[in-house]
């Protein structure tokens, strides 16, 4: 520091130490003049020491924080440089600081009174916490996603002890977090599938990926639900696997719909497709008999009546099957239900 901006003298060693601090250190003397602006301040805030040193604090503060906060800070500044100052004149705040290039960043700011050579000064330390805030925000964001997810998102340790339980899990399984936390995952597994989770956990421990799989689970009310389960490893800060997240999607309705659809198609094939083919062949035979005069009028009427009855019944079966499918699918739009019924 070649130029002298204050009557105070700072040794070279003192300034080396101040410049080694990774946070912005700003010292303001009683007159409001900025007398220390360290290297970290240059990097974090963007102004060089030459641009700042000797400038009045009240001139600069408006550039570094928003106007309303700058006014308040100016008013408070007096507390730090009067004889009344002392330990009580310090505060800590978190807020947004504006860089020289107008980019903003989150910072922890602490301001304290400091008495140097019998003169009260204010020392301000600014720490860029943008990454921390970003990470905290991301955590809150992800946490909200987990909390509000429609799927059950369950955390368990490697002993299958349940350590987290979201609202989706409450909805699917019926247990509240209070009921279930600390219990073993096996309470959710139906008889006969006890080894299912254990074998998947072993794969996770071994670092293998576990593809999603369909299975069944038991709810608090002892109801069986069809679920799609995705297991993923949970690692600690040392990158060791300490548990697994279990994402459970309730596919009971989809399964029911799928089974209904299979039943519908099967029944349609058995009661519509093959019988319709039989009617076609029978009519073809009747035509052949008529052509060869091999059928009398009475018998012709009987045979045609049978095929007519068969056809009527096949149409009736089609309507009946439509009704069955309408009854099974709540999701069919009203106008389509009306159309199918007609």
Footprint on this chain of another protein (rule: CB under 8 A): 266-267, 269-271, 274-275, 277-278, 281-282, 285, 298-299, 301-303, 305-306, 308-310, 313-314, 317
Orientation angle between helical segments 57-64 and 67-81, nearest 10 degrees = 140
- State which residue, 245 or 285, has the beta carbon closest to another protein: 285
Q: How far is the CB of 264 from another protein (least distance, A)?
A: 11
- State which residue, 20 or 269, has the beta carbon closest to another protein: 269
Q: How far is the CB of 281 from another protein (least distance, A)?
A: 6
DSSP letters, 172-200, are HH---HHHHTTSBGGGGSPTT-HHHHHHH
- State which residue, 66 or 274, has the beta carbon closest to another protein: 274
Q: How far is the CB of 293 from another protein (least distance, A)?
A: 14
C-alpha distances in Å from residue 222, one per residue of 125, 154, 217: 60, 19, 9
Q: How far apart are CA 210 and CA 192, in angstroms?
A: 20
- State which residue, 72 or 281, has the beta carbon closest to another protein: 281
Q: How far apart are CA 298 and CA 63, in angstroms?
A: 108
Report the chain's terminal Cα–Cα distance, integer Å.
93
> H or E segment at 106?
strand 104-116
How far is C-alpha 79 from the geometric centre of its chain's CA atoms? 46
- State which residue, 140 or 261, has the beta carbon closest to another protein: 261
Q: How far is the CB of 139 from another protein (least distance, A)?
A: 51
Q: How far is the CB of 313 from another protein (least distance, A)?
A: 5
- State which residue, 79 or 267, has the beta carbon closest to another protein: 267
DSSP H helical segments within the chain, as ranges? 12-20, 39-45, 49-52, 57-64, 67-81, 130-148, 167-173, 177-180, 194-205, 252-268, 274-291, 297-328, 334-341
Q: How far is the CB of 248 from another protein (least distance, A)?
A: 29
Q: How far is the CB of 306 from another protein (least distance, A)?
A: 4
Phi, psi of 131 (to 5 degrees): -65, -40
- State which residue, 129 or 318, has the beta carbon closest to another protein: 318
């Amino acid at each position: 520091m070649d130029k002298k901006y204050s009557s105070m003298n700072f040794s070279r060693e003192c300034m080396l130490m101040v410049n080694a601090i990774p946070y912005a250190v700003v010292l303001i003397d009683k007159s409001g003049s900025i007398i220390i602006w360290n290297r970290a301040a240059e990097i974090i805030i963007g102004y060089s020491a030459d641009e700042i040193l000797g400038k009045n604090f009240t001139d600069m503060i408006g550039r570094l924080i928003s106007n309303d906060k700058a006014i308040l800070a100016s008013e408070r500044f007096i507390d730090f440089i009067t004889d009344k100052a002392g330990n009580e004149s310090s505060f800590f705040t978190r807020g947004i600081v504006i860089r020289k290039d107008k980019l903003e960043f989150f910072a922890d700011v602490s301001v304290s009174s400091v008495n140097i050579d019998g003169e009260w000064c204010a020392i301000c330390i600014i720490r860029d916490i943008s990454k921390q805030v970003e990470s905290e925000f991301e955590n809150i964001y992800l946490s909200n996603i987990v909390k509000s997810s429609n799927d059950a998102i369950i955390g368990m340790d490697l002993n299958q002890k349940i350590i987290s339980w979201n609202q989706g899990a409450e909805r699917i399984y019926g247990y509240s977090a209070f009921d279930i936390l600390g219990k073993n995952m096996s309470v959710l597994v139906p008889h006969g599938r006890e080894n299912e989770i254990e074998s998947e956990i072993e794969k996770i421990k071994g670092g293998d990926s576990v593809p999603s799989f369909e299975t069944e689970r038991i709810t608090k009310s002892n109801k069986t639900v069809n679920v799609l389960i995705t297991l993923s490893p949970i690692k600690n800060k040392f990158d060791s696997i300490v548990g697994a997240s279990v994402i459970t999607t309730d596919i009971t309705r989809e399964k029911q719909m799928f089974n209904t659809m299979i039943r519908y198609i099967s029944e349609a094939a058995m009661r519509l497709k093959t019988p319709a083919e039989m009617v076609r062949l029978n009519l073809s035979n009747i035509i052949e008999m008529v052509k060869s005069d091999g059928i009398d009028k009475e018998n012709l009427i009987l045979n045609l009546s049978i095929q007519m009855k068969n056809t009527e019944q096949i149409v009736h079966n089609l309507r009946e099957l439509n009704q069955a499918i309408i009854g099974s699918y709540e999701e069919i739009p009203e106008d389509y239900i009306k159309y199918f019924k007609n």
